[in-house]
């Protein structure tokens, strides 16, 4: 009894903090997503809000007027996640393995160099990227120097989807593809769904990969250093090559770490906001707005902002992330992830 009480009192502070700042806001957002609260009407007023049932969800997610805006942002976010998570994970692993090699000189330099983008303010980094990818910026100049026939691309303002551009090379475009592509699913035509990330979104993805890889690399690095060298020595005795050792020892032993890194990556990318906020402009709003950005815009921008509608979108985003994490747990996680 006494132990239970003491134990409870020890976890109490953490529970209180978690409840107040994590669970409670979630519940409150869930509650307000069923109201018509503007976000500014004082809650102590009797007419602060009314319950409207599923109206907000209806409007944004089922078949209301904003369904196309919502699913367009979902499409943008999905392409963003699908592009960023695998590349940043693979890159982080490769960098960690390289930095972990005994023969490498100047390890401290490389570790710092790779980690540096992660600790720099994302706003500052975004502006540097704007400069790098501008019309007359270094990226275009470099490409021009390597491929003299290269035409400068306006990376940050181009709305063309990468898949569309690729198909266009083979002569397939919106006009020649056939009527099936005009079928509307969830507010968007199939042709719009398969656009791929736009060039502008691709630029933002490069930025995200560049900034987060460093953090993930550090996580991989610490996991790599936890693998006992005796395992590798045994493999060497058995005649395994370096590549075999990597494939059959390093990768399986890193599986829990990979699970962790991918989960972090998924949650982070589904919630992408600040890079979009800085790099988006009027021209690219349609192909770069993420779901998290849509939540912000709905809550705070325009003449009739609505915190209730923003809450509804946020709840759906939460469900999407939750489901995505469960799915990837099946693929990456398995039993070993639970240790």
Residues lying near another protein in the complex (CB under 8 A) are found at 2, 5-6, 9, 12, 38-45, 65-66, 69, 130, 134-137, 154, 156-157, 159, 281-286, 300, 302-306
- DSSP state string for 84-135: HHHHHHHHHHHHHHHHT-TT-S-HHHHHHHHHHHHHS-HHHHHHHHHHHTST
Closest distance between another protein and the C-beta of residue 302, in Å? 5
CA pair distance 123, 259, nearest whole angstrom? 28
Give the residue with the Cβ less far from another protein, 118 or 134.
Answer: 134
CB of 51 to another protein, least distance (A): 18
21 or 322, CB closer to another protein?
A: 21
Least distance from C-beta 166 to another protein, angstroms?
19
- Residue 262 has a CB neighbour count (10 Å cut-off) of 22
Calpha distance 156→176 (Å, rounded): 28
Count the residues in the chain: 339
Q: Which is nearer to another protein, 255 or 286 (CB)?
A: 286
Q: How far is the CB of 257 from another protein (least distance, A)?
A: 37
Q: Which of 275, 283, 294 is nearest to 211 (CA)?
A: 275
- Minimum distance from CB of 87 to another protein (Å)? 26
Dist CA 166 CA 24 (whole Å): 47
Using the minimum distance from each CB to another protein, give the nearer residue, 149 or 303.
Answer: 303
Report which of 187, 83, 203 is spatially closest to residue 134, judged by C-alpha positions: 203
CB 25 within 8 A of CB 314: no
Using the minimum distance from each CB to another protein, give the nearer residue, 109 or 131: 131
């Amino acid at each position: 009894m006494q132990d239970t009480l003491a134990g409870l009192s020890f976890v109490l502070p953490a529970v209180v903090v978690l409840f107040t700042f994590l669970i409670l806001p979630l519940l409150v957002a869930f509650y307000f997503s069923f109201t018509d609260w503007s976000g500014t009407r004082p809650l102590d007023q009797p007419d602060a809000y009314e319950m409207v049932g599923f109206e907000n969800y209806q409007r944004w997610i089922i078949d209301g007027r904003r369904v196309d805006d919502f699913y367009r942002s979902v499409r943008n976010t999905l392409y963003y996640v699908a592009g960023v998570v695998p590349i940043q994970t693979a890159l982080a692993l490769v960098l960690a393995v390289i930095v972990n090699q005994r023969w490498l000189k100047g390890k401290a330099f490389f570790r710092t160099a790779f980690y540096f983008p992660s600790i720099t303010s994302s706003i500052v980094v975004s502006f540097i990227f704007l400069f790098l990818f501008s019309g007359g910026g270094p990226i275009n100049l470099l490409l021009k120097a390597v491929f003299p026939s290269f035409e400068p691309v306006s990376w940050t303002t181009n709305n063309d989807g990468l898949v569309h551009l690729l198909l266009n090379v083979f002569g397939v475009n919106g006009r020649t593809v056939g009527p099936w592509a005009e079928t509307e699913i969830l507010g968007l035509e199939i042709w719009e769904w398969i656009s791929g990330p736009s060039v502008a979104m691709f630029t933002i993805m490069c930025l995200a990969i560049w900034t987060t890889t460093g953090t993930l690399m550090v996580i991989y690095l610490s996991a790599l250093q936890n693998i006992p060298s005796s395992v590798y020595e045994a493999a060497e005795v058995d005649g395994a090559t370096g590549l075999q050792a990597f494939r059959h020892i390093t990768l399986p032993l890193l599986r829990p770490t990979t699970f962790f890194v991918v989960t972090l990556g998924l949650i982070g990318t589904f919630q992408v906001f600040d890079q979009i906020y800085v790099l988006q402009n009027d021209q690219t709003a349609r192909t770069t707005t993420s779901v998290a950005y849509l939540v912000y815009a709905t809550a705070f921008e325009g003449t009739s902002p609505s915190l209730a509608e923003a809450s509804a979108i946020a709840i759906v985003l939460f469900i999407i992330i939750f489901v995505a994490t469960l799915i990837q747990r099946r693929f990456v996680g398995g039993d070993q992830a639970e240790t």
